Structures are given as C-alpha cells and as structure tokens.
Structure 1
C-alpha cells in the first residue's frame, strides 16, 4: 500500500480475520492490480457492511431520458456533450479475448495498471466510492480488490451504463453494492441523479473524463461543487487527465497537431505562446486508434485547476505524469512483479510495450486532492 505522506510503499494493515479469502477472478484487469498481495486485497462477504445498503438506493435515474441535450452557447463555444455521449454509446462492448487482440492492448494494460495503483493508494477497506464518468464499469474489479462496501457510478452515456450493470451482474463475486445512474455529473446536481442518502462518499474517482468539465466555467464550477459537497472531509478526489505541460510544450514548438500511428492531438489554431486566456474552453480533437475517434476534449491548465479547487475545499496531494508515477511505483519489488506479469515490463526492467503505445500513455497525468 502506498503512503502518500511518506511517499513510500508500506505493508497494508491487516484486515479483520472474519473476512473470507480473495475470490478467484480471471479477468484481464487482474494483472494490473494492487501493489501488494496483502490483506487489503481480500474480498469481503456478500453482505454489505456499509449502513447504506443497496436497497436504500433507488434504481437508475436518467436525467437525460427524453433524449434532449443542451447545446448551450457560452464564451462563443458550443458544448460537445452530445457528441461525447454519442461516441461512447457507439463503442462496441468487446470481450476480454477481443481486447487482447487489439493493437492498443499495451495502452489499455498500462492505463489500467496506473488506475489500479491510484485506486489502491487513495481508497480504504469499507469505503463508499463515487465513479464519475464510469463508462462500462471497467474499474469494477479494481474497486473489488480495494475492498470497498459500495460504488456509485455516473455517466452521461446510457448504453454504457447498461453495459456496466451487465458487467457487474456477471461478476463471480459481488462483495459490494452498486448503483449505476445516467446523468451529467458536470452539469446536473448529483443529488438529482443519485439518491441523496447515498452521500457522503469516501472517495471520488474520475478516470480519463474530468477534462470534459473544462468546456465551460459553469461545468467546471458545478463539477467541483458536486465533488466537494458529496465528499467527506478527509476524503479523496482522484483522477487521470491529459498532461497540460506536455500540451503546452508542443504548442510552444509551433505545432497544432502531433501524435503517431496510435494517437493524434489536433488544435484548430497554432498557439506558439502556449498560454490560454481562460481556464476553460481550450478545445482540441483527440484520436486514439480503436478507442477514440476525433472526440473534442479540453486542456486542463493545472495550476489554475489547483487554485480553483481550493475555493471548493479541495487541497492538492499529488500530481505526476503517468511515467513518473509508474517509475516511482515499480521501485517496489512486488509492484514490479505485477508489471512484469501484466506484460508491461520485461524481466530486465525494460518496457514490453511498443514505443508508440508508450508515447500515447505519456499524454496523461494522475492527480489526487483531499477534501479539507
């Protein structure tokens, strides 16, 4: 288990002896799991320990059930919510074997490994977690291994939510309750999407999605207000976002488009100063082979993000590029062994993933805030 205060890896505290042993799971994500094989990763019994049992949380509530979506004008920019929703709803729900044949299998493995480490660092046994932009429930096994009591998943893509519910239904071990809801967590009040009795939560996770909040000031402030309001004091807000420093470096080189055969980032105009007039609305198009087809995304100017988050009682604890985060983690022998078993590292410590896939992974950074 990672100790962010000491910036070191520590042995996980023992779990209660009454809890059963870790279930035998066979999904591909298991290889990108917690750094230790200690008691934190053991499964809990099927009976939730949390006072917020599944029966107390209503079934899915779709704030966009009528199919109407705001295409609101703000600061001269048209919201891309509809385009993003349509894109993710149209993605196929591939099987584990199909994903293994993917040309970006290395990207998926690396990204899952990073997310697993981040979830392990900032969640604790018996936590209740909120996953914003949960998609098809790809992190369910990560939360299972974290030993949580309950998970609330929110996403604007209704078909993705149906896939998430189906994925949970087919899990061999269901050791925590879930509530998957359709809604826009960056625009709607979370209490209007999820039953308010489900809050507060111990950890909020937003993986590869929080940059969509940076479309407008309204969306960004509402997202931060939502997170701060439903998160316990001392709770964690974690996520993965595009690394703004890398974007700025390329812009300063006079580029407005860059990438390789795996990914591509395209700005409409060159920005040789690498500066932005506002914290929001700095749009570019992103393409990732077999995954993202020219979807609009937004720069996350990180220093401004940190300052604004402070207004909502969110204090920065961690911000690192994927590569720095990964290299620091694999100093631990057990973590390195998992990376080797996941075909991310070779036994000699070199990467088993191709250079172009690694370059696509290096686009991102991790963050963690604490509610104060």
Structure 2
C-alpha cells in the first residue's frame, strides 16, 4: 500500500513553557477571570447540529479516507493501551464513534462525557443499537454511563467518585478546546489526573501547534488551506508571533469539509508537556500523525487493520486512498500518550462500577452544570 504523499513532521519548536502564574487548588478556585462561554457554546452547538450519516452518505464524503485514517489512528491507540476489563473514561465522546473500538479492546466499563446534548442522545442510541444509520454486529459487552456537561469547565471528581478510578482516559480531537484559557486547560488535566489510577494511561489526538504555526508563517496572509480545509487567524496575530508568556487563548477558525467549522485553540507542545507534569503525568510520546502512521504501519496487525478500514484502499482491488489534500490535513494533527505517575494498583473495584447499564434510557443521561 503506497502513501505517495511525502511530508515529515515539523522540527520547529512551539513556545516554551511559561512560569506558572496560576495554581490549581483542591477547592477548584482560579485567580483568572471566568472565560466567556460564547465560543464554548458555539463548539457545542456545532457538534450537536451535525446529523448522523448513512453509510452511503459517509462514503460520499470528500474526506472519507481521512476519516478512515483517523479511525485507524484511534484504533491503534486504543488497542495498544487498553487491557481486558479496563474502566474507560471517554472525554468529549461525541456521538459514540469509538464505542466499537472499546468493545474490540474488551473494555469492562465505559463512561462517556460530552458538552453537546444532541451528540449525547446520538451516543445513547448508538450504544443501544437503535440508530438506523449504524450497523451493529452485536450487543456491546460493557455497561455504560453517559454524562452531558463541559468536562473542561466542571469538576468531575465528585460526580464520578463512585466510578473512579479509571484505567484509561481518552480525549480524541478535542483537548485543544480546553486551551482557550489557562483555567480551562488546568481543569481538564486536573479532572483527568484525579480520575485516573496511578499508572493509568491518557491517550489522545489534537492539532499539532508546530505544523499550524509553521504553515501560518509560510502563508502570504492569515489564511491557508487546500480544497478540503482552511485555517484563518484573526488580525491580532498579523505579526505571526506568539509570546511564550501567553500560550493560552491563541484562537483560530478551522473549517474542514463535512466535519468541522468552529473556533479552535493552539496547544504549544512544550507547554502541554510542562502543564501535564504539574498534574503527575509523564509524557510517553507525542508524534505527528504522519510519523505515527509510518511508524505503526511497520506492524502487520496494523497493516491488516488499515486494509479493513480502507483508508489506503483494501490492499487488493480497491486502490483508492487519501488524496494529497487529505494527507495534508492529517499532517495538522498529532497523537499523544501520557502516563499517571505512581505504582499501579490493578485490583478490580467492581462495587464502584455498578452505575453503568447495558441499556440506556433518555433519563439515564446525567446532565451536570457549574452548580454541581
């Protein structure tokens, strides 16, 4: 299978870690003014409004091979870092597109959280197998619980006290939405750290700040892209310079055909690593998606998975593959794995995981707000 689209991850460095101006306290207080929820609500409304697609509609997408590649990347992460019976916390779980991945990895318990109410309802119907757009092969083997709320704004330790500790936390293509302010970025990492057991794993995917800033500086103006995406920065970044002392709130507008059209935020990798360390995380790796694909396609089982998903054709008669423009979009993202410090304790805590159900009614979705 050929991937005839050259390109290697950028070697340019993102802004260095700032001196920590704010400290998280056990009471959850921050010395920063509360962030306006306008942009956060725009993101939630965008994903709530997206309708589920039939298989025919999905296959007709101009970025269908990119979607399949992203599914492959997530599948590889899930398979590599999930053990049988693991308790899973899926942050920004969306419509439940990764449920089958967790089932194949033989997860034992699943909690999904998302800010978009419409997405949570779709996730519920997908879990139950009631959505006519989604072809299910069998009933999911793990009990589940769904929560609607902003996991980058609200404290989750008390809400999930009876569900924790989790063995693995996943946040796919969403963590950058927490980077609008330092308080939100800290809340996200504080929640994950509080809910993960020592030795637990945090996996995720998000935009690659190095690549995006590199492309911005190579562009003539403040907008760049190709036939399937564009990114536009506001005039405040007309000098294309970013202060290392202000690594939060660097907003840009992102449009990806048949997928995304909302504000996003830069996540400088060095700052991400530095902040994660404050919350007892060790960085296992961070790799641009191009590098991740090339490295993991050396393993036969991953080649077979890629064949089945069809991102690079089926390795047989179907020679269709990512377009050069889709491959360029893949270059905008990276995959990461963090590990919670401490000695692992794998003793099952079954008594704390009986809140999940094998069939979810509408009233089973827990709605949480800042009042919680």
The TM-score normalised by the length of structure 2 is 0.76
d(CA) in 2 for partners of 1:200, 1:122: 16
- Alignment counterpart, residue 185 of structure 1, candidates 148, 151, 172: 151
d(CA) in 1 for partners of 2:79, 2:97: 15
Matched, 1:300 2:267: yes
Measure how far apart 1:191 and its partner are: 3.4
4+ residue segments displaced more than 3 Å: 73-79, 271-277
Partner SS, residue 210 of structure 2: helix
User: Superposed, which structure 2 residues align to 1:1-372 within 5 Å?
Assistant: 74=33, 79-170=38-129, 171=136, 172-192=138-158, 194-253=159-218, 255-269=221-235, 270-273=238-241, 275-293=243-261, 295-346=262-313, 347=315, 352-372=321-341
Partner SS, residue 198 of structure 1: coil
d(CA) in 1 for partners of 2:112, 2:94: 8
Partner SS, residue 92 of structure 1: coil
d(CA) in 2 for partners of 1:298, 1:249: 15
Equivalent residue for 1:45? Answer: none
Measure how far apart 1:78 and its partner are: 6.4
d(CA) in 1 for partners of 2:43, 2:296: 33
d(CA) in 1 for partners of 2:96, 2:308: 23
The TM-score normalised by the length of structure 1 is 0.76
d(CA) in 2 for partners of 1:114, 1:82: 28
How many residues end up aligned between the 2 structures? 298
Contact conserved, 1:265 with 1:284, CA < 8 A, in 2? yes
d(CA) in 1 for partners of 2:227, 2:116: 28
| Residues 76 and 276 of structure 1, relative CA distance in 2, 3 Å threshold | farther
Contact conserved, 1:345 with 1:351, CA < 8 A, in 2? yes
| Residues 197 and 78 of structure 1, relative CA distance in 2, 3 Å threshold | closer
d(CA) in 2 for partners of 1:271, 1:122: 41
| Residues 310 and 351 of structure 1, relative CA distance in 2, 3 Å threshold | farther
Measure how far apart 1:76 and its partner are: 8.7
| Residues 75 and 277 of structure 1, relative CA distance in 2, 3 Å threshold | farther
CA displacement, residues 55-85 of structure 1 (integer Å, 9 cap, x when unaligned): xxxxxxxxxxxxxxxxxx9599765111111
d(CA) in 1 for partners of 2:35, 2:198: 37
Measure how far apart 1:290 and its partner are: 1.3
d(CA) in 1 for partners of 2:196, 2:45: 29
| Residues 371 and 76 of structure 1, relative CA distance in 2, 3 Å threshold | closer
CA RMSD of aligned residues (A): 2.1
| Residues 99 and 291 of structure 1, relative CA distance in 2, 3 Å threshold | same
Larger relative contact order (C-alpha < 8 A, sep ≥ 6)? 2
d(CA) in 2 for partners of 1:228, 1:210: 14
Contact conserved, 2:35 with 2:181, CA < 8 A, in 1? no
Partner SS, residue 295 of structure 2: helix
| Residues 181 and 371 of structure 1, relative CA distance in 2, 3 Å threshold | same
d(CA) in 1 for partners of 2:149, 2:243: 33
CA displacement, residues 147-171 of structure 1 (integer Å, 9 cap, x when unaligned): 1001100000011001000000004
Contact conserved, 2:176 with 2:265, CA < 8 A, in 1? yes
CA displacement, residues 166-197 of structure 1 (integer Å, 9 cap, x when unaligned): 000004222001101001111101135x4420
Partner SS, residue 171 of structure 2: strand
